[in-house]
Chain A
Amino acid sequence: MTLENFLTFPIIAKIISLIFLCRALIAGKRHWLLDKLPVSKTIGACVGLVKLEGTAETEAPVVSTLTQTRCVYYKWRIDEKWIRYVKETYEEDGRQKTRMVKKEGSDTVASGSDRNLFYLKDEYGVIQIRPNWAKFESRQFFYKSCGPNNPLYYRHATRQEVDGSTHERTFYEDGVALHCPVYIEGYARPRQDIAAAEVISPDDTELFLISTNSKEYHKGRYNSRFWWLSIWGLVFFAGIGNLNWDDFVYLLIWATGWAVLTYNNLISLCQSADQGLANVEVHIKRRHDLVGNLVRVVTALRDFEKEVQKEVTLLRRQLEITKLEGKQESVTACLPAVRAVIEKYPHLKTDAAFLDLQVRIADTEERIALTRTYYNEIATTYNQRLKMVPYRLIARLGNIRTRALIIASDFERATVPARFAE
């Protein structure tokens, strides 16, 4: 059966075309959402489907085999080229004949890879990444072809060569080096052990990506996949050369599928925007619950220090007076101990607690600001979509509304004077 026969063969081709259509719709589904999500920071809105940018850091890096690079992930491979002559049967003038055919190729003689749990670091902090099942897009560490004269030739692979070897081995190694900038798409969830998040593999493992390329490189990738799959579907449905009226059935199915997909995508984008807003509330609640308590704790420490200082001063004065009078010989026995008590309080220590409080309050506000930024970004994307054709029509059909951005009130816009005197 030739390809053309196959393509015009009605039912199978149409089933294949529908499979393509389904693949296209699936490619469009969660990937589309991921494409629209803003990049998160390691603090703030960092639970659920996330995109992160930063550098790969770890205390226990893996060391790559070929180049001894300290990295979080690497894979290496050694290929050996061969030329073989194979017997092939063919038909000529109705008779079976055989001939020798030269074939070229290469076999992998050795390979390996390793990865380790690592941390993504950005300007706000770190987040743990569990790279099992992740898809890596890594940078090349090493690429070299050489013959047996080179000492490298036998270093990482067996001395046994493949059948018909041309004595040329090619070494490949790539990976994600330590401190290398990385871009991650994945699913973040709270860690069990400490109060932090970690990125793990989502249910759809295709969505877990660790890449050394920038986020711009990955933008719009899923869109093109959707269109290519759709066009292939059309080719299979229509066959080659004969476009019929029933080919419009495919277009109709495709258009319905696209409308449903677009509607669903708008719904999920809308929900993500709402989720972003709810996360802002979470952080505001955190501020409300936390800052008051921190202030009370620091106040308690300050009062305590005040009292203690008062007592230590009293003790010191007592010591001076008794020394001056010089008649209390028996009491001097305890003098070194009393001195030690006084030395134990050389100065106030509340400053550390106050500094700590400042850092924590600043961090709290940073978290709120980051979640608000996140929400505003996603809400802007969402609102833009709702105003664009053809999303506009679908939004009207599905009664989907825009979301308001978080903006500052007028009194918040005014400059803030640092007032010390009441």
Chain B
Amino acid sequence: MGILWIFLVLVVSFLTWVMGIYNNLVQARETVKKGLVQVDVQLKRRHDLIPNLVEAAKGYMAYEKDTLEKVIKSRQIAVNAVNVQDKIQAENTLTSALRGFMAIAENYPNLKADQHVLRLQEELTSTENKISLARQQYNEEVNRLNVSVQSFPDSIVALKTGFEKAAFFQLEQAEDRQVPQVKF
């Protein structure tokens, strides 16, 4: 009777131990999946954010330029106007064009085109930093899973229950490896 009990205790503790290993493996695998999703979140953020930021900077540049062009054109008209009626009208156009220009200059003294661009550069960099951090975190999670899958005795449980090593982040295209050409 005593021997049977000892046997039973041994079997139960063995099963609990194996279960623990299995659960750890499951957790590691799920964390790797989460890591991949986190990278996707950052990639999606980049996809949604960057074109809009570029558009905003571009739009601002166009606005600044257009206003300036309008000032020049209406001044030209005012200069060339012959009769009083034309002159008054041209003067009004010029005044409103200038007012538009001064409005940007006064309301956003710091938000000029170059500021827009500097901010865009900062945002581009921090976006890429976020992506690379998420990828490094993914690599860390892959590391944990792979160590569990390969190290003894977890490897036996992993083999029996079909756990596999995950792949680290790797460059898919050879061109990604090229040093980007900085040319103006």
Contact = CB atoms under 8 A, between A and B. Distances in A.
Interface in B53-73: 54, 57-58, 61, 64-65, 68-69, 71-72
Nearest to A328: B79
A284 B170 CA distance: 10
Nearest to A282: B135
A386 to B, nearest CB: 15
A252 interface: no
A280 B137 CA distance: 13
A136 B21 CA distance: 32
B151 A195 contact: no
Contacts of B54: 297
Interface stretch (A137-145, A148-156, A271-279): A271-279
Contacts of A104: none
Contacts of B129: 195-196, 286
Q: Pick the most buried of A48, A278, A330, A349: most chain B CB atoms within 10 A of its CB.
A: A278
A207 interface: no
Contact of B133 (A47, A264, A352): A47
A331 B78 contact: yes
A288 B176 contact: yes
A288 B178 contact: yes
Interface in A270-305: 271-272, 274-275, 277-279, 281-295, 297-302, 304-305
A331 B180 contact: no
Interface stretch (B1-9, B11-19, B140-148): B140-148
Contact of B94 (A45, A194, A334): A334
A340 B102 CA distance: 8
A67 to B, nearest CB: 39
B114 interface: yes
Contacts of A344: 105
Contacts of B57: 297, 300
Contacts of A263: 151-152
Contact of B132 (A264, A286, A300): A286
Contacts of B102: 337, 340-341
B125 to A, nearest CB: 6
Contacts of B117: 297-298, 300-301, 353
A272 B143 contact: yes
Contacts of B120: 297
Contacts of B132: 282-283, 285-286
A278 B171 CA distance: 9
B114 to A, nearest CB: 4
Interface of B is mostly: helix
Given A275-B140, A286-B132, A295 B183 contact: yes
B76 interface: yes
Contacts of B105: 340-341, 344
Interface string B162-181: 00000011110001111110
Interface stretch (A13-21, A211-219, A243-251, A311-319): A311-319
Contact of A302 (B175, B182, B184): B184
Interface string B78-91: 11000000010001
Interface string A99-143: 000000000000000000000000000000000000000000000
Contacts of B136: 45-48, 190, 279, 282
B139 A334 contact: no
Contacts of B52: none
B125 A352 contact: no
B36 interface: no
A357 B79 contact: no
Contact of A281 (B95, B128, B169, B180): B169
Contacts of A292: 180
B114 A353 contact: yes
A340 B136 CA distance: 51
A360 interface: yes
B143 A48 contact: yes
A420 to B, nearest CB: 12
Nearest to B167: A278
A288 B180 contact: yes
B121 interface: yes
Contacts of A285: 132, 135, 169, 171, 176
A135 B112 CA distance: 50
Contacts of A279: 136, 139, 169
Contacts of B157: none
A275 B139 contact: yes
9 contacts: A268-B143, A272-B143, A275-B168, A281-B170, A284-B171, A285-B171, A286-B132, A290-B128, A301-B113
**8 tightest CB-CB pairs across the interface, nearest first?**
A278-B168, A48-B140, A195-B129, A47-B136, A190-B133, A264-B151, A349-B114, A291-B180
Interface of A: 45-48, 189-190, 194-197, 260, 263-264, 267-268, 271-272, 274-275, 277-279, 281-295, 297-302, 304-305, 307-308, 311-312, 314-315, 318, 322, 328, 330-331, 333-334, 337-338, 340-341, 344, 349-350, 352-353, 356-357, 360-361
